[in-house]
Structure formats: structure tokens, C-alpha cells
Amino acid sequence: MGFVSNNNAHLLSKMATNDGHSEKSPYFDGWKAYDSDPYHLTTNPNGVIQMGLAENELCFDLVQEWVVNNPEASICTAEGANEFKEIAIFQDYHGLPAFREGVAKFMGKARGDRVRFDPDRIVMSGGATGAQEMLAFCLADPGDAFLVPTPYYPGFDRDLRWRTGVQIVPIICESSNNFKITEEALESAFQRAKESNIRVKGLLITNPSNPLGTVLDRDTLRTLVAFINQKNIHLICDEIYAATVFDQPGFISIAEIIEEKDQQNCNRDLIHIVYSLSKDMGFPGFRVGIVYSYNDAVTNCARKMSSFGLVSTQTQHLIGSLLSDDVFVGKFLVESAERLAKRHEMFTKGLAQVGIGSLKSNAGLFIWMDLRRLLKEPTVDAETVLWKMIIHEVKLNVSPGSSFHCSEPGWFRVCFANMDDAMLKIALTRIWSFVQRSKGVEEHAKRKCCKSNLQVSLSSRRLDDILRAPHTMSPHSPISSPLVRAT
């Protein structure tokens, strides 16, 4: 007997039938476009190349080498089989001691050993997604809100809100100061929530930033700590990209800030860190997420909640062994930073050759690409038209800024670490071809209209049918903007 489906929504819960998962976002639509037509070198060379996935695949050879040389780390090998029963039977949901110790040690090394983390405060979860939701459950009630600087990771709309009933109040950041978080923007967001009778329970930051690929400086971090102490609200620091910093300025963890002598009056009960191995080591499939709270009550509550999203003991066993190898970890961190720097340079220089700029960045697995000059008009609708063309004509899955709640249309997040050099060159070739064809239209319009500065007008039709419309170039365009990278 086959499965019979029906659309009787009243048989399901409100949570099951609402759109809180935010799958209608262009961020997820781009993934669907890729899934329906994925690029393959031989079987589908004209397919969509996935540049919307923030995944780190640049150092898998180092991990594979370690696994081959340490077969006993897995309980599914002849060398590790003697540990099988001990690992397979029920384990305390506090986590294996070796796992918590290994993660705590790695968190310290990823921060240059400038701060130490207590293994007893390590609470595991099913990835950073589970960690964020766990903290939301611990810190806020339905209807309460977290302040989040824009642009921010689209998944927060799901992670923080869907099952918890918590709201997000955006802190509007702008390109005029490279999207820096200011005291004025913080206060403005807080007051907007207050005027709407929304209780603010915390501030969530991502450092290094997704999607900007930038790090927060010491003064900004101090400002954030002062703000949350003044308002008596929590500070959640998502630091899952801590070890992806490949250039100066270096990464500064919130854990370092609260250790400073002038932070003696800081209420540490308000400070919480979310971490994961998904980005720094490229292990999203292992679902290793971490909540590290300086608040004992939050740590105890989160540990109880962790029973709903434990990391398998088999994974804990392997990760504990891997991260306890100081020689491997040291080599991995250095090599990863070097490879990310090389790939970032390769990609940004390739874009700069055709006049495409990006926000200056030194971390993460992506760049914040500036295509504002290619918009017909500075609107989200125009950005959507351009994005659809990039998806369906250029065949690249990139993520539009509107899906990150960016207040300025025309910015796009483009991931560069989830593919090999050959595929990246193919992606660059497609971008070059697209821009050159666009320039051809622009030059034709220049000759026809006899104007010095023209704006390429894009439509959802094929590039051959692009509309011609004169438009004065924006002072923030990739060509004239101070954000442009030097070639």
C-alpha cells in the first residue's frame, strides 16, 4: 500500500504549517536552482556552479592524511575495533571527556592561545544551528527579541525564530563605513524595539562576519560589551569562522575582551559563545556545534537541552583524537590560513580584472561582491532581476544581499572555498564573459546616446535583449568606490 498524501493542514501543528523555516528566501531558492541543474565537468558542463555554499574544502588532504596515519581513532577500523563496545553503548550527554578537552584546546589554538577555555563549559549540540536555537531557548521567551547587525546570515531567521517564537530586530549597518557596528545604530535598534513594546533579551554578533568576511576590532567589541552591560541584555558571539582569518587585522575573540583589566565590571553571566567545526575545519557533516557560556545557569540548562541534539559518540571519539594532536592542529591552522589567502587573492584579482569590486575582507570562505553599478535602479526588485540572470544565464549560484537583510541593494555573497582551482577558474570565466557582454551593450549605448557615463540596464531576458538606459554611475560603484581592491 502506497503512502497517501493530503493537504489537510488542520491535521498538523501551526509550527509544521508556517513558513518560519524561511525557505522562501532567495538564499534557499539559489540552492534549489543548483540542485535541479548541478554543474559537472563531463556530464553537465553547462550546469549551475555552487557558489552559495560556505564550505571549506581546501585542506581535506591534510585531514585525510591524518586519518590514514591514525586508524585507531575510528572505532570502525581493525585498529580501533577494541574501542567499539565502549563507544557504542550509552554515554553521558555531557560528552566524552577527550572530546570536550580537545574542542576546548582547539578553540584556544584557533585564537592564538591568547585565551583558555574550560572543558567543563563545553556543551555540544547538533551544529551551530542547534547551538543558536539552544541559546535562544535558554535566554528568551516567545515574543522577545535579539538585536542582530545587518547584513546577517539568512539561517538566523530559522535558527533563532522558527521553533522558539523569538524575534529579530535588525541593527542597520551601511557601506559608507564598511558596515561597521556603531553606538548610534545599536541604540536606534534598541529604541525601535522598545517603541514597538518588544522586549530585547540579547545582541547576536557574528565575528568574523558572515557575509562580510571581516573581523570586529577591539574598540567595537568593547563598545558591544559596554552596551549589553548598560542595557542588561545578553551578548551571543558566533565565532564559527575564528580560524578562517588569513590576513591582518587578526581575530579578537570576545573571550579576550572580557579578560582585559578594564573589564572587571563586565557581567560575565551575559556573555555566550557559539562555535562549530563546520567552517574552521570543514566538517559540517559531523554536526559538531558548541555552546560556551560564562553563565553557570545557562550552561546547566543547555546541557539538559543538548540531549535533543547530541553529537554521536563515534564522532566525538574521532574528533577528540584529532584535536588532541598538537602537531596536526598547528600544521592545519597555518596551512589553512595560507590556502584561504591564496584562494581569496586569486578570486578577488580575477574579479578586479573586469572591474568588479568587493568589500575589503580578510576572513571567512566568501567575499561580499559589489554589483551595484549593474543595477537598473537601486532597489531590491532590480537586485532580484540581476540575481536571476546570474543564476539562469551565467549559471552561478550566488546569494543576493537582500537575503542577508542588507539595507543597500546590489551586494552579493560569493563563496570561493568549496571547489578546486579548476572550477573556480571556470566560474571566473563565466563572470568575465558576462561582464564583457554587458560592457559591449554599455559601449553601444554610449555611442548611441553620446554620453560619458552610462548604467547597464538588466532584464530577466537573455543578455542579447538587455535594455539600454543611460544612468550616471554611482559614486559607490566598484570602479570608483574606495572599497575596490587593487589588482
- Which three three-digit cell numbers place residue 157? 531567521
- Which three three-digit cell numbers place residue 257? 575582551
Q: How many CB atoms lie within 10 A of CB 116?
A: 12
Rounded to the nearest 10 degrees, how much is the dihedral formed by the CA atoms of 380, 381, 382, 383? 50
H or E stretch at 353: none
For the chain, how many helices (H) and strands (E)?
15, 15
Q: Which of 27, 39, 152, 153 does the annotation list as catalytic?
A: 153
Through-space distance between the first and last CA atoms of the chain, rounded to whole angstroms: 64
Q: Could you tell me if 236 and 272 are in contact, meaning their C-beta atoms sit under 8 angstroms apart?
A: yes
- Which three three-digit cell numbers place residue 108? 584556544
Q: Say whether 240 is catalytic.
A: yes
**Helices 60-69 and 326-352 meet at what angle, rounded to 10?**
160
Q: Say whether 238 is catalytic.
A: yes
Q: Say whether 426 is catalytic.
A: no
Q: Which of 29, 144, 238, 370 does the annotation list as catalytic?
A: 238
Return the beta strands (E) in 28-136 as ranges.
49-50, 122-126
Q: Say whether 39 is catalytic.
A: no
Residues 6+ away with beta carbon under 8 Å from 244: 56, 208, 279, 280, 336, 337, 340, 363, 364, 365
User: b/e for 184-209, b at 16 or more Cβ within 10 A?
Assistant: ebbeebbebbeeeeeebbbbbbbbbb
Cα four-point dihedral sign 234, 27, 403, 347: positive
Q: Which of 228, 240, 290, 356 does the annotation list as catalytic?
A: 240
| Active site (catalytic) residues | 153, 238, 240, 279
